[in-house]
Amino acid sequence: MEIDAFPMRLVALTDGVFAGREHVVLFLRPAGEGPTRGFALALDDARLLRAGLGVVLHEAEQIQARITDSN
């Protein structure tokens, strides 16, 4: 598996029905310049993304706290 990471800003989040399936749409914009892009996720995928981001953000907060404490 290959994962690319690049800075993005969440612009909007909505839910609805797409092609007869419930979904979540994330509208993201690159942190610098660039057009906003929309990504449709099935609800199960959105739940997995939310859980994964929760873990990543929690660990990032712990790292930031250790850096702050060491300074």
Which residue is it, tokens 């994964």? 52
Q: Which is higher by pLDDT, 1 or 22? A: 22
Q: Tokens at residue 43, please?
A: 């609800």
Say what the pLDDT of residue 13 is: 63
Prediction pTM value: 0.53
Q: Which is higher by pLDDT, 3 or 57? A: 57
Report the b/e string of 46-67 with b at 16+ CB within 10 A.
Answer: beeeeeeeeeeeeeeeeeeeee
What are 48-71's pLDDT values in tens digits? Answer: 888 888 888 888 888 888 988 887
